[in-house]
Structure 1
Amino acid sequence: MEEYYQQTIEELVLNESFRNLILHPTGRQQTQFEQWLEAHPAESQKLMAAADLVRAVRIENNALSPVDHAEAVERIFDLTSRKKETAKLRPLYYWAFGAAATLAVIIGFYMIPSQKQAGFASAQQSQQGADREWIVNNTPRSKLIQLADGSTVFLKPGGAVRYPANFGPDRRDVELRGEAFFEVAPDKSKPFYVSAGGTITKVLGTSFSVRALNAESETVVAVVSGKVNVSRADQDTPGQSVQVTPGQQVTVGKKNRNVLKATQASDDEISAFLRSAADGKNIQVVHYLEIARKAYDIDISFDPKQLKTCKIRANFQGMHLMEQIDAICKAINANYTLGNGGIQIKSPGC
């Protein structure tokens, strides 16, 4: 076993000897492997992660050549900026697509795909700095806006946002009028701020909604994942801030300057959709896209006839919608583009 613990996870996944040990062990080999893991806890976590990956990409009678294996792994590692997760594994099993796509997508999921992948189209902005213009949603559905850092804004009808084409070196600032749902790309070195209705919401990486309608006397911030700090924009009331955690919301009065204590938020369609996507069950792609379209109230166009036989089994826990869409398209060999406030998916079928 000693020859394995000096290898990386991706090297182990491609190691034919290790793959045979995991997929086709003899009784003696299985016992030796388990005993070795118990005796070497420092190395066991890495080997167990690699073993789960090997099992997850098991495809009988459709083996990848060493070159294909290497190219698939290299492609994922080139596109990924986040560190691999080994403590909490998310085994994924895919049907109806090639082995190369299987290996690439599953390894990518263990690392959680980067928010800055080439498939994520950046939002276009006509002006920069203080003179940048408001982007207004005059359509009857929510409008998807992709920011330069990979964050996504789902702007509700009648709402408006403005932001720089490129964020500064130490913070990301967005202004909102109306209502929007935000899925923020993590960046601890550059907090994300949303100014709306006399409030400032500060996050590092999370998903939450802000409702600041002119006709209403209060601004409401509700959190789906992660944590945010909500405070008033006034400088004469320092210290009035509330931390909001998943499932909670905070209400801020526009006139009386009160920042009320966080309370339990009522369930919404996006929260319910994200919970359902995280349970690891078999997913019919057409059904998934229809539910996502309804939950986020955005246009997701696709040909249901082409995708009617496409199925996957996946755990999307902690992943934003665009990460999920990106992963599904890789899995079924489909392409997607962002435009006109929505998502367009094209696939040759499964």
Structure 2
Amino acid sequence: MSAEEGIVATEILLAEPRGFCAGVDRAIEIVERALQKFGAPIYVRHEIVHNTFVVNDLKSQGAIFIEDLAEVPPGATLVFSAHGVSKAVQTEARERGFQVFDATCPLVTKVHVEVAKLAKEGYEFIMIGHKGHPEVEGTMGQLDHGIHLVEDVGDVAGVQPSQSDKLAVVTQTTLSVDDAAEITAAVKARFPNIREPKQQDICYATQNRQDAVKMMSRQVDVVIVVGSPTSSNSNRLAELARKLGVPSYMVDSIEDLRPEWLEGHTRVGLTAGASAPEVLVKAVVRRIRSMGAVSVRKMDGIEETVKFPLPKGLKL
């Protein structure tokens, strides 16, 4: 019997919500509109969102993704990715005279604004996030100094602020909600008077997708997450399912889906990170159906209606 013949999956359960969030929708539309209005090439600093399919699609339309602004010719149009950039990158772009459109997610911008406001009041910051992630680099780059990064509970003990009277905590928007809460508790235990954001920094879409996986994991035998390896929120979805005791795998495309993952499982849960397009979800559904699944059921879940405005200058 072949691997595919041995699969007995009968149902696919689709998480709700899943896939694109408002910030990702906006970022992709900014690049597409810039291409339509100004023509190719349009330069984008860093991947506009962390998804291979999306990036390759925009490349085919004439977008060029760069990391160093020195790669961008004078007078070119430049888009900042959804993850945000440091003050130094913003300054360099201005000095080089680029036409800039900022696709930073407004919920990331909210964190930047909070940091700038409190810094003027003399605050230092503890940032909960993953070292090297572009969002973390962008947020920490809002100030020259005074932001201390912690990645886990163990890092909290090593934080040495110059003072603790004015200390605030901020968070990468795409973290595990539960992990962030655990680290925040450790921060508050060490610094009881630390200032927290009025609203949590973890974005609504990250929260909603993680909540959906929690609900879904109780009903399925295995979870498949559509998302690229570089996507923080996609990785957190797969991690969450595993923590709940359900085998979970990430796929960047249908070619990544391995039949043996589904062997012996009758119900497959399927979700997608906030940067993964629905076209990939549909392709994975077709692939799993070809392996024997006979029904697809969508979970009840929150309907997201958030929409963010585009920057000025992109009306067609």
Shared fold, TM over 0.5 = no
Query: Higher RCO, 1 or 2 (CA under 8 Å, sep at least 6)?
Result: 2
TM-score scaled by length of structure 2: 0.29
The structure having more radius of gyration, on CA atoms, is: 1
TM-score scaled by length of structure 1: 0.27
More strand by share: 1
More helix by share: 2
